[in-house]
Amino acid sequence: MFASLTSGLDFQSKALVLRAERQRTIASNIANADTPGYVARDIDFKAAMASATSGSSIAASKSTSTTSGVTHPGHIPLAENGVGSLGNGSKLGYAAQSQPSMDGNSVDLDRERANFVDNSVRYEATLRFINGQSKTILSAIQGQ
């Protein structure tokens, strides 16, 4: 019962971790905007999110068969694709080069800045979803 209560939170927390990861990647791109030969990286959020959520469903299906290192049926199994790790699905892609330059640097600073702002707004949105859901759960628990 509790799992169904927090499954929405689980989803949002995965999204939050992915957003943080993407923020880090974009920050690296902006930091290396003047480095010769640097190739801009980016995360395909949709694909990464799909692989993160499918990983959790695999872990959930495993928990029913109680095979993944659980010594007691009442124990909560460790998710293989936990919140802290992103699994194998979050492979970094390469951003397409818009204006080729002589030094081999493929960072488009305008695009990176736009991505950075976009990603930070979405990060904040995810945070608000989490806050709202946890408030909902809390008020359900307290019954007030």
Partner 1 sequence: MSMFSIFNVSGSAISAQSQRLNVVASNLANADAVAGPDGQGYKGRQVVFETVPMGSDASAGVKVSSVRESSEPLRKVHNPSHPSADAEGYVTQSNVNPVEEMVNMISASRSYQNNVEVMNTAKTLLLKTLQMGQ
Interacting residues with partner 1 (CB under 8 A) = 16, 20-21, 23-25, 27-28, 30-38, 41, 43, 92, 109, 113, 116-117, 120, 123-124, 127, 130-131, 134
Q: In this complex, which beta carbon is closest to partner 1, that of residue 75 or of residue 128?
A: 128
Provide, rounded to whole angstroms, the least separation between the CB of residue 107 and partner 1: 11
Provide, rounded to whole angstroms, the least separation between the CB of residue 81 and partner 1: 17
DSSP alpha helix (H) spans, 32-105: 45-65
Q: 104: which DSSP letter?
A: -
Place of tokens 């995360």: 43
Q: In this complex, which beta carbon is closest to partner 1, that of residue 61 or of residue 99?
A: 99
Q: In this complex, which beta carbon is closest to partner 1, that of residue 45 or of residue 123?
A: 123
Q: Compute the distance between CA of residue 93 and CA of residue 42 in angstroms, rounded to an integer.
A: 5
Place of tokens 């600073």: 109
Q: Compute the distance between CA of residue 144 and CA of residue 136 in angstroms, rounded to an integer.
A: 11
Provide, rounded to whole angstroms, the least separation between the CB of residue 87 and partner 1: 14
Provide, rounded to whole angstroms, the least separation between the CB of residue 91 and partner 1: 9
CA 129 to chain centre: 14
Q: In this complex, which beta carbon is closest to partner 1, that of residue 41 or of residue 62?
A: 41
- Contact at 8 Å (CB) between 53 and 119? no
